[in-house]
A and B are shown apart, each in its own frame.
Chain A
Amino acid sequence: DTGVSQDPRHKITKRGQNVTFRCDPISEHNRLYWYRQTLGQGPEFLTYFQNEAQLEKSRLLSDRFSAERPKGSFSTLEIQRTEQGDSAMYLCASRTTAGRQETQYFGPGTRLLVL
């Protein structure tokens, strides 16, 4: 399968702990996005990468959040000192900028629960 994959699919942690999520995009996709989705809401943009460069960050991305894409392939999203308000589904998506391929392809998400 060459779709977007995310790991882990579920994470339960205690408040104050650090967590890290991984996203593997579709291999030829140079753009990678992170979103957060809370219950009953649509995905909210957090940040995106073009290759290894992080080009845009939302104001939603507090300084406790950091994302990397060191080799322009997989990406990690780390949340430090988690808070209960961080509980959400974290979605990764990727796309290519070749041609007019505007469609983003989503991964299955990582559901985070902070106790």
Chain B
Amino acid sequence: AQTVTQSQPEMSVQEAETVTLSCTYDTSESDYYLFWYKQPPSRQMILVIRQEAYKQQNATENRFSVNFQKAAKSFSLKISDSQLGDAAMYFCAYRSANTGNQFYFGTGTSLTVIP
């Protein structure tokens, strides 16, 4: 089974600053999807950003962008101009485009935003 590793259990950032959350994954496949989900305290998980492995260009969504390094199997999330509302648990997830249908999630990074 594929594994997704988030090596930073907790991170903190000053409001308006930039923070990068790391994620690595293990797969032998070439076609897959990667996601970052955000789970605020006691609230439901929402999609932040996604990346198709066949695309070389890094995905961006407003203040959120990724650094996708396919050869290194790395998929980090950069949050620019951090806001208090960004405080949440962030999960990295992987899904194969070909085999099975499961999403594999990392253990999450808890982000604190300091006013």
Q: How far is the CA of A93 from the CA of B44 in the complex (A)?
A: 10
Instruction: Tell whether, in the assembled complex, residue B44 and residue A109 are in contact, meaning their CB atoms are under 8 Å apart.
Output: yes
Cβ–Cβ < 8 Å partners of B101 in chain A: 31, 48, 55-56
Cβ–Cβ < 8 Å partners of B35 in chain A: 103
CB of A99 closer than 8 Å to a CB of B: no
Query: Which of B95, B100, B107 makes the CB contact (< 8 A) with A56?
Result: B100
Q: How far is the CA of A18 from the CA of B106 in the complex (A)?
A: 30
Q: How far is the CA of A31 from the CA of B100 in the complex (A)?
A: 13
Q: How far is the CA of A93 from the CA of B35 in the complex (A)?
A: 14
Q: Give residues of chain B (20-61) contacting chain A, Cβ–Cβ below 8 Å.
A: 33, 35, 37, 43-47, 50, 52
CB of A33 closer than 8 Å to a CB of B: yes
Cβ–Cβ < 8 Å partners of B105 in chain A: 42-44
Q: Give residues of chain B (62-115) contacting chain A, Cβ–Cβ below 8 Å.
A: 91, 93, 95, 97, 100-108
Query: Which of B4, B50, B100, B102 makes the CB contact (< 8 A) with A102?
Result: B50
Overall SS of chain B's interface = strand
CB distance from B32 to the nearest CB of A (A): 9
Q: Point out residues on B near A: beta carbons under 8 Å.
A: 4, 33, 35, 37, 43-47, 50, 52, 91, 93, 95, 97, 100-108
Closest CB pairs A-B (n = 10): A42-B105, A106-B45, A108-B44, A45-B102, A102-B33, A42-B91, A43-B105, A103-B47, A106-B44, A42-B107
Given contacts A42-B93, A106-B37, 20 further A-B contacts (CB under 8 A): A31-B101, A40-B108, A42-B107, A42-B108, A43-B91, A44-B105, A45-B104, A48-B102, A56-B100, A56-B101, A56-B102, A58-B102, A93-B103, A102-B52, A102-B95, A103-B47, A104-B47, A106-B46, A107-B44, A108-B44
